[in-house]
Every structure is written in structure tokens, then in C-alpha cells.
Amino acid sequence: MQTCVRRDFIQQLAEYYKAVDRLVLAAVKLGSRGWFCCRAKLHVALFMLTREFEELAPLRRRFSLLAADVDVSLKSLVERGLLEEKLEIPGAVDGVAHPGYGVYMYRLTWTGRALAGRAVKEVSPRVRKRMKELLKLDVWSLIGYAYVKYPLDAWPIELA
């Protein structure tokens, strides 16, 4: 009995992270023409999408998709060769320099582009349209918008 419950939990967790991976790949594809800047933009855009669309509600953990889950997905996608990652020091986000801080940038690999194309097709047209709108915003506007729209759910965002 306990083994069956544990196996179900592990399977649910694996499905959860596959869904997060697909959403991250779709966002990187739709939000960049080369290098995608930065983790904060990805965190906030995906946070907003999970709040706005009931079909993404299964990706909410407690109040929302957690930034840590996005970070795990990014690390996994880099390790699997689907994303390239670079750390720019000192970093600049949307033209604003951050001396002493690094900014992580992401780019799809050749294999990642193929899987991201599939991931984009799996996202509903409504979610895809909204994702594009959110990712066109600069990171500062996006963060501000999240805090104004969801003041009780928005968590502090780190720029890295």
C-alpha cells in the first residue's frame, strides 16, 4: 500500500516537472530572438500565467508556480542540452546595470528548439497569446504588474 502511494506521488511529481519544462521551453522560444533575459522575467511571466489560466492551475503550488520549480526546470533543461546558459557579470537587465550581480541568460539549443516548437503548439492559443504579451514587457514593468495585480500572492523576485 505505502509503495503504491509513493509510486503515485513520484509519478505525479514527474508529470508536474514535465509540464513545467514544457512551459519554460515555450516561454524561452516565444520570449527571445537569441538570448532570453533573465530568470526573473521567466519567474514572473509563468507566475502570472498560472494565476490567469485555470488550465495551468495544476502547476500552482500553494499560491503559484514557485520560482524554485522554474529554477529546477532550467537547470534540468541545461543539463539535458536543451538550453544554453550563460552568466553575465556584471549583469544588465533591460538596460539597467547591476554592479556586483550576475544575470543568467538562456538560449535554446538546436534540439531545444525542436522540443520548444512542440511545447508552443501544446499551449492553448489563449495562453500563447498572453505569454507573448507578458514576455514583451520589460522585466521591471512585469514585476510591477504582478505585485499590483496579485499583491497577496506575489513573492519577492530576485533578478538573477
Neighbours of 66 (CB within 10 A): 19
Residue 35 lies in a domain: yes
* Counted domains in the chain: 1
Of 105, 84, 83, nearest in space to 159 by CA: 105
Assess if residue 136 is contained within a domain: yes
Residue 158 lies in a domain: no
Q: Are 60 and 106 in contact (CB under 8 A)?
A: no
Confidence of residue 65 (pLDDT cuts 50, 70, 90): low
Say if 154 falls within a structural domain: no
State the pTM of this model: 0.83
**Range with lowest mean pLDDT among 56-70, 97-111, 120-134:** 56-70
- The position carrying cell 485555470 is 54
